[in-house]
Amino acid sequence: MAISEELKWMIGLVQGRYQQYNLSFEQAEKICRFEQERDAPSDKHFFSQWEQWDFELVTFREVLQGEQLALYLSDHEAEIKAYEQYLINEDNSERQLKQLQYVNRIIDLHQNEFVPGLLKQEQVRMAISYMRMEGNKLTYLKEEYKKHYTSVKKEIQISYFRQNRTFRPNELKQALLHHSLNYIWPNYASFYRGADKATQAVGDFLCERAMRYFKSEQAFLAQVAKGNQARMNTLYKEFFGEMSGWHVHIEPSPEEELKSFCMGLILLDAGAEVRMNGL
């Protein structure tokens, strides 16, 4: 089978890039085709660094021989050791440790001040009590909320170990702590976006009811939501200063923010159950 001039040129680049192995043309061609397959674009699937190295190792073991392979294995091991040390250094960096402290402060403020303060308001407790009359629909939504965020937690854990193995425990701790906020103060908007149509329909029905039950408290709750966001902004500045650089932040409408806030209130005990059961 004839080889195109472009492919010959790419094979030459491979021979130059791996000149320490003194690759034959045939060996370089196999590695070139491996690199094309490895780097093929995909919207859904990608290798972690470890998986990419495993794929490379399997290929090079088939292509290289004798001293070539021995030298590659030595280089491969050194590259992995260097990457492991990089992950360890990043995990113990000032930036990472500050992120961990920041998330701990967010958790503390919500768990010990924000949520207890809300539940001290008699009108809030009464509205939550009225919502319990919705019976099966509310029970269904709470169960779906618990399943959703239990699944998200597993996704976080799987992604972490794919990318970092055991070398960044502080990053894992930070990610799981941040995720636990969904149980202390339910993030209804995020849950709704990830729910199926049937669950969204139940959510829409209950949201309409919640807005009725909380009607007389809507101004108060909107003020509380705004105040909590301002507090979070102040906390961010305390740790990291003003947000710099180009970024996109889409603010929800006041109505959507209020709906999410009210639904968070009626899902509070769902989150509490998850924390209690250690899921």
Q: Is the pLDDT of residue 251 over 90?
A: no
Section 92-104 average pLDDT: 96
Q: What is the reported pTM? A: 0.87
- What is the reported pLDDT for 249? 61
Q: Is the pLDDT of residue 28 over 70?
A: yes
Q: Is the pLDDT of residue 278 over 70?
A: no
The residues, any chain, with a CB within 8 Å of residue 47's CB and separated by 6 or more, are 38, 55
- What is the reported pLDDT for 213? 85
Section 212-228 average pLDDT: 86
Q: Return d(Cα 62, Cα 274) in angstroms, integer.
A: 49
- What is the reported pLDDT for 56? 98
Each residue's pLDDT tens digit, 33-75: 999 999 999 999 999 999 999 999 999 999 999 999 999 999 9
* % of the chain residues with pLDDT over 70: 94
Each residue's pLDDT tens digit, 132-177: 888 899 999 999 999 999 999 999 999 999 999 999 999 999 999 9
* % of the chain residues with pLDDT over 90: 71
Q: How would you write 165-219 as a 3-class SS string?
A: CCCCHHHHHHHHHHHHHHHHCCCHHHHHHHCCHHHHHHHHHHHHHHHHHCHHHHH
